[in-house]
């Protein structure tokens, strides 16, 4: 553990110029042992934000710590190991204004509070509304401070962690940088707590299976605490064209270096051909309700010729989905099946099952219904993966 803390993962990597950043600050940085608010790390972070603002940059803060802050007022719950969901929600309701008051006191700018749920991201209308509010708040030169709306969000309504929430916010805000601050130095090629010679990784060009495995994916045992959600967040942000940095916010000197454009931590490079707007939302926010497997010819037409998906190329479907649901498209080949796209289907699974492999002119004979078109997933409603 000592070695882990001693490592100063500085490099000669420079951070690309940026104008608007989302900074995610984890509970470990705003609380003392997760039990009460502490300004120890908040103060240098606030100074960093102020310095960025003074340079003309825009900052949006995603701050955790509401539950922990609320805990300081409830001695009965402080020692209770397993708190119920309503207890945690009540603690968040108590702690959230305490968190806001502390940030407002430390920052030299007007702060504004936004509490979001997954529902606000999933529902495209609410997403756009939140985006409009955020843009207005930036125009008003405030510092928006965002947290999950824990009081109303239970499991199915929850983003669940502020790393992923921050990535959605970065996309929402059209940011060009996402900075995830926690008490870890970034990504290592093995868990530094159990592998003393683990090497720090400064730059990740693309997030692939190997990177997910390093963060404790299903295939790996070298899980680095809390890294999994950070990689998920980095994947969402970089695929939306946003550089993402994971850095150790307990090392205050790193903020000064960051101001000078020097990387301390791990940078995940933005994708050269980002998925933006509705397609990014479809890919990352919409849950998948099923899978459609296609033959090699259809896979090629989709991946390289910009074609829509037709029933004739489908070989199998799985899942119980409705018209308008998102589904993954897989290429079926001799190696098994590879995920190639995600899109919104125009057919429900029970209808689609009847027209697998059928030519377009056969569809009206099979489906006792006048389908306006034979297109299963229209090109405009499909995102090609790794394309
Ligand atoms: N919304 C939670 C809180 O403010 C934190 C969730 C997280 O840190 O991922 O306590």
The count of structural domains within the chain is 2
Probe residue for ligand 1, chosen from 162, 166, 182, 233 as the CB with the greatest number of ligand atoms within 8 Å: 162
pLDDT for position 371: 64
- Assigned domain for 160 exists: yes
Q: How confident is the model over 312-349, as pLDDT tens digits?
A: 999 999 999 999 999 999 999 998 999 999 999 999 99
- Whole-number pLDDT of residue 3: 43
Does residue 309 surpass a pLDDT of 70? yes
Residue 33 has pLDDT above 90, yes or no: no
Hey, which of 24, 148, 226 would you mutate to test ligand 1's pocket, going by the most ligand atoms within 8 Å of its Cβ?
148
Domain that holds residue 26: 8-279
Give the 3-state DSSP-derived string for the chain, with helices as H, strands as E and coil as C: CHHHHHCCCEEEEECCCCCEEEEEECHHHHEECCCEECCCCHHHHHHHHHHHHHCCCEEEEEECCHHHHHHCCCHHHHCCCCCCHHHHHHHHHHHHHHHHHHHHHHCCCCEEEEEECHHHHHCHHHHHHHHHHHHHHHHCCCEEEEEECCCCCCHHHCCCCHHHHHHHHHHHCCCCEEEEEECCCCEECCCCCCCCCCCEECEECCCCHHHHHHCCCCCCCCCCCCHHHHHHHHHHHHHCCCEEEEEECCCCHHHHHHHCCEEECEEECCCCCCCCHHHHHHHHCCCEEEEEEECHHHHHHHHHHCCCECHHHEEEEECCCCCCCEEEEEEEECCEEEEEEEEECCCCHHHHHHHCCCCHHHHHHHCCCCCCCCCCECHHHEEECCC
pLDDT digits (tens, 9 = 90+) for 199-233: 999 999 999 888 988 886 433 344 344 788 999 99
Residue range 93-134, pLDDT digits in tens:
999 999 999 999 999 899 999 999 988 988 889 999 999 999
Give the pLDDT of residue 10. 59
Confidence of residue 373 (pLDDT cuts 50, 70, 90): confident
Q: Residue 78 — pLDDT band, cuts 50, 70, 90? A: confident
Q: Can you tell me which atom of ligand 1 is nearest the CA of 27?
A: 8
Ligand 1: distance of its center to the CA of 254 in Å? Answer: 24
Q: Which of 49-58, 128-137, 192-201 has the lowest mean pLDDT?
A: 192-201
Ligand 1, pocket residues at CB < 6 Å: 26-27, 64-68, 92, 147-148, 150, 161-162
| 1 within domain boundaries | no
pLDDT tops 90 at residue 375: yes
Examine residue 3 and state whether it is found in any structural domain, yes or no. Answer: no
Instruction: Report how far ligand 1's centroid is from the alpha carbon of 150 (Å).
Output: 8
Residue from 30, 64, 74, 113 to probe ligand 1 pocket by mutation (most atoms less than 8 Å from CB): 64
Q: Residue 67 CA: which ligand 1 atom is closest?
A: 10
Q: Residue 120 sits in a domain of what CATH number? A: 3.40.1160.10
In a domain, 43, yes or no: yes
Instruction: For residues 275 and 293, state if they share a domain.
Output: no
CA nearest ligand 1 atom 5, residue:
64
pLDDT of residue 331: 96
Residue 2 lies in a domain: no
What is the model's pLDDT at position 219?
38
Q: What is the pLDDT of residues 139-183, one digit of tens each?
A: 999 999 999 999 887 776 677 789 999 999 999 999 999 999 988
Average pLDDT, the chain: 89
pLDDT for 7: 46
Mean pLDDT of 286-292: 95
Residues 172 and 81 in one domain: yes
Predicted pLDDT at 36: 87
């Amino acid at each position: 553990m000592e070695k882990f803390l001693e490592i100063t993962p500085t490099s000669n990597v420079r951070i690309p110029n940026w104008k608007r950043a989302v900074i995610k600050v984890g509970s470990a940085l705003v609380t003392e042992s997760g039990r009460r608010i502490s300004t120890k790390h908040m103060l240098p972070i606030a100074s960093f934000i102020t310095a960025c603002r003074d340079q003309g940059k825009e900052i949006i803060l995603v701050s955790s710590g509401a539950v922990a802050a609320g805990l300081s007022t409830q001695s009965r719950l402080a020692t209770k190991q397993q708190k119920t969901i309503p207890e945690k929600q009540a603690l968040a309701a108590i702690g959230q204004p305490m968190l806001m008051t502390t940030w407002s006191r430390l920052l030299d700018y007007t702060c504004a509070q936004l509490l979001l749920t997954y529902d606000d991201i999933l529902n495209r209308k609410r997403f756009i509304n939140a985006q409009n509010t955020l843009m207005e708040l930036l125009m008003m030169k405030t510092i928006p401070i965002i947290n999950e709306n824990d009081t109303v969000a239970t499991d199915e309504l929850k983003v669940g962690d502020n790393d992923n929430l921050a990535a959605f916010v970065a996309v929402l805000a059209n940011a060009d940088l996402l900075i995830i601050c926690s008490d870890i130095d970034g990504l290592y090629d093995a868990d530094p707590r159990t592998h003393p010679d683990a090497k720090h990784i400064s730059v990740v060009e693309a997030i692939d299976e190997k990177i997910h495995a390093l963060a404790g994916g299903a295939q790996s045992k070298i899980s680095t605490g809390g890294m999994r959600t950070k990689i998920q967040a980095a994947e969402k942000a970089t695929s939306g064209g946003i550089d993402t940095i994971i850095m150790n916010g307990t090392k205050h000197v790193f903020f000064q270096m960051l101001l000078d454009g020097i990387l301390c931590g791990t940078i995940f490079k933005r994708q050269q051909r980002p998925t933006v707007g509705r397609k990014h939302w479809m890919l990352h926010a919409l849950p998948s309700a099923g899978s459609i497997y296609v033959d090699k010819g259809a896979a090629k037409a989709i991946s390289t010729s910009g074609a829509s998906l037709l029933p004739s190329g489908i070989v199998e479907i799985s899942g119980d989905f409705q018209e308008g649901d998102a589904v993954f498209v897989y290429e079926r080949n001799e190696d098994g099946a590879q995920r190639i796209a995600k899109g919104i289907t125009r057919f429900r699974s029970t209808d689609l099952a009847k027209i697998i492999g059928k030519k377009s002119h056969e569809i009206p004979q099979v489906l006792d219904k006048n389908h306006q078109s034979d297109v299963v997933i229209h090109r405009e409603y499909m995102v090609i993966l790794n394309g």
